[in-house]
Amino acid sequence: MGEIRHEVAEETSRLQAGITAVLQELDGLPQDDPRYEALFGQLVEAGTALLAYEASVPAKLEAPQRKVSKSALTWAAGVHVAGALLLALAPLTGWISWWWLLLAGFQALAGVLIGATDPAPGRHRMLRSAAIGLSIVTVLVPLLVFGVISGWFWIAAVVGWLFSGVQASDAEQEVKAA
C-alpha cells in the first residue's frame, strides 16, 4: 500500500510540475502573443490530465483490497463447485437418490456464476459477504441432502444462495454502469 501511495504522490507531483511550468511561461506573456494560445492549450491539457489521474487514484489505492475480496470469493466458489461435484458422485454409491443431481447442477452453476464476479471499485467488500454466504451454503447442502440436519435448514440454504447472488451482482453492477 505504501508503494502505491508513493507512486500516486510522484505522478501527481509530476503532473502538477507540468502545470506550474506552463503557468510560469504564461506569466507576463501578453494575450496577443502568438505563443499564448498554444501555451493556454497546453495548460488546459495538463489540467485535464491531472484531473483524470486524480479520478483514478481511489481505484488504484483500493486495488489490493479488491484483489483480496476477489480471491476470497473465488476460493468460496471453487469449494462450492467442488462440493457440487462430490454431491454428484454420491448417487453412484447409492447413498442418495439420482434426483439430487439436479441440485448438484444448480449448486455448480451458482458457484461458477457467483465466482465469476469482478468487483467494482468501492464495492468489493460485498464480495466478502457473498463468499461467507456461499461458504455457509456449501456446508449446509451436504448436511441437508444426507439428512444430518432438519429439512427446515433448506430455507437457510436458499437464502444463502440468494444473498450471495445478490451481493455478487450488486458488486459487479457498478462495473457495467461505469
Residue 92 burial class via C-beta count within 10 angstroms: exposed 0-12, middle 13-18, buried 19 and up? exposed
Q: How many domains does the chain have?
A: 1
* Full 3-state SS string of 101-155: HHHHHHHHHHHHHHHCCCCCCCCCHHHHHHHHHHHHHHHHHHHHHCCCCCCCHHH
pLDDT level of residue 155 (50, 70, 90 thresholds): very high
- Collapsing DSSP to helix, strand or coil, 33 comes out as coil
**pTM score over 0.75:** no
Burial of 164 (0-12, 13-18, 19+ CB in 10 A): buried
Residue 1 pLDDT class (50, 70, 90 cuts): low
Q: pLDDT value at position 48?
A: 92
pLDDT digits (tens, 9 = 90+) for 76-134: 888 888 888 888 888 888 888 888 888 888 888 888 887 887 777 777 777 778 888 88
Which domain does 21 fall in, by range?
A: 2-177
Say if residues 161 and 111 touch (Cβ distance below 8 Å): no
Amino acid identity, residue 13?
S
DSSP states along 157-174: HHHHHHHHHHHHHHHHHH
Average pLDDT rounded to a whole number, residues 2-16: 87
Is pLDDT of 177 > 50?
Answer: no
Confidence of residue 175 (pLDDT cuts 50, 70, 90): very low
CA 18 – CA 104 distance, rounded (Å):
59
